[in-house]
Structures are given as structure tokens and as C-alpha cells.
Amino acid sequence: MRTNCYNKLMHYFASRAAAGDLLADQLEPKYRYEDCAVVGLSDGGVVVGAQIAVRLHCVLTLLLSAPINLAGEPDAIATVNQEGTTTYDDRYSNGELEEIKAENFNYIEGQKLEKVFEMNRLLGDGGLISRNLLQGRNIILVSDGLASGMSLAAAVEFLKPVQFKRLIVATPFASVPAVDKMHILADEIVCLNVLEDMFPVEHYYESNSLPSHEKIVEVIEHIILHWK
């Protein structure tokens, strides 16, 4: 049964770590003694997710994705994950997508190559995520804020070969369209705020300093040392 844990009263957060603590408060009673894996959907998602992983005594990893925007369009037409798998915006019909892809084939393919190259440059050889690490576990996808939910769709595409127990999405805030997507894709939602009109993610944190990507990797590799 899907559980919804959110409200519509906006809460601003001192930092991503503080937001992660509040999400952990929601998750700990149910998942503290379960076999879980926390998957950050960005470096910011890892900072949020680290607080959850510490409290649940579970592994932490990172799955990157990047938006593909057509020239002059503010909203992404698709999202590509670090393996190069592309997930298109489901607001378009199949016919509309086929037309868009045909008209913009070279541009979209070029964007995919560029984005995947940049993600793999960040991740280094082999990347940080392993499907074997996720097998048979409750997977908690963590974002520091979901504007469209397309990164979530890209993550679910990556997880298709994985036999997991439950898929939980945890985020401090999300737009209404992103929550709608969560209802379709996830078994459980932990979202502290639902926003009708959403500003950029940075707007909702008093402190927006993020560790370098190298420090993020260190957090992932040493999370077990910080279990509480």
C-alpha cells in the first residue's frame, strides 16, 4: 500500500542535511531494521540522503541524470541517465514524441553524448552505483527537490532489471506534477512539502554550499563510519 507523507505548508530548510534529518524522522520508525539502500539523484540528493542512510544503517550511492532541453525551450524534453538511457517527458503523446525526435534527431543525440560524457567524467571509472548492491532491498530514491520528476523517471528506468522489495521516494519538496509522477512510479512517498509554483531548488535552503564532488564520493564510501 502506498503511503503519502506530505503537507502543503511550505517549510524552508537551514540546509540539505537538516532536510535529510526531517525525512529520516519519517522513515526511521518503519525502515530502521529493514534492508535498505539510499540512492541520491544528484550530489545534493546525496547530502540529503546521507542523513537517512546514517539513521537507517544502510548503504548510500549515487545515480546521476541530466536534462535534455531543445533550443529555446525552458522545459526538458527528456532526461538521460549515466548509462545513456533516455527517458522522454510523458506529457507528450507517442505521435508528438516521434515527430519531435525526427525533427531534432541530431541535436538530441549530440546532447545525449555530451551529457553522458560529463556525468561519466564526474563519476570516474565504473561509476558509483551497482545494480547488484540494490538487489532484494528497499530502495529509497532521494532528491533535494523535485521540480518535474523526470530524474525520478530516469532512475526507475535504470532500476527495471533490479528485483527490489519496495521503491520509496523521499524529498523535502516537490511540485504537483512531480508528486503525480511519484504516485505512479513509487510504492511510498515521503515528501515534506508540495508546491503549486516552484522556484529553483536553491531558493528553499538558507545554506546552499555543497561539498565538492570528490567529497560527495567520500561521504558515500565512508557512510558506514557514521551510522548512529
Sorting pLDDT into bands at 50, 70 and 90, what band is 82? confident
pLDDT at 49 over 50: yes
Can you give the three-state secondary structure of 186-222, one letter per residue? CCEEEEEEEECCCCCHHHHECCCCCCCHHHHHHHHHC
pLDDT at 166 over 80: yes
Contact status, residue 145 vs residue 173, Cβ threshold 8 Å: yes
CA trace torsion 38, 41, 46, 52 (10° rounding): -30
Q: Cα-flanking dihedrals φ and ψ of residue 172, to 5°?
A: -65, -30
Contact status, residue 149 vs residue 177, Cβ threshold 8 Å: yes
Q: Cα-flanking dihedrals φ and ψ of residue 168, to 5°?
A: -115, 135
Which residue's entry shows cell 524534453? 77
Angle (nearest 5°) at CA 119 between 23 and 166: 35
What would the mean pLDDT of 48-73 be, rounded to a whole number?
A: 90
C-alpha cell at 149: 520528476
Domain annotation for the chain: domains and CATH numbers: 4-63+131-153+162-226 (3.40.50.2020), 68-123 (no CATH)
pLDDT at 124 over 90: no
Q: Rounded to whole angstroms, how far apart are CA atoms 225 and 6?
A: 31
pLDDT at 121 over 70: yes
Residue 209 φ/ψ region, left for φ over 0, alpha for ψ in the -120 to 50 degree band, beta for the rest: beta
Write down the pLDDT at residue 30: 94
C-alpha cell at 107: 541535436
Q: Rounded to whole angstroms, how far apart are CA atoms 170 and 24?
A: 9
With 0-12 / 13-18 / 19 or more C-beta atoms within 10 angstroms meaning exposed / middle / buried, residue 115 is buried
DSSP state for residue 19 in the 8-state scheme:
H
Question: Which is more confidently placed, 9 or 11?
Answer: 11
What would the mean pLDDT of 87-114 be, rounded to a whole number?
A: 87
Amino acid at residue number 151: S
Q: Rounded to whole angstroms, how far apart are CA atoms 191 and 21?
A: 13
Amino acid at residue number 88: Y
Q: Rounded to whole angstroms, how far apart are CA atoms 109 and 94?
A: 18
pLDDT at 6 over 60: no
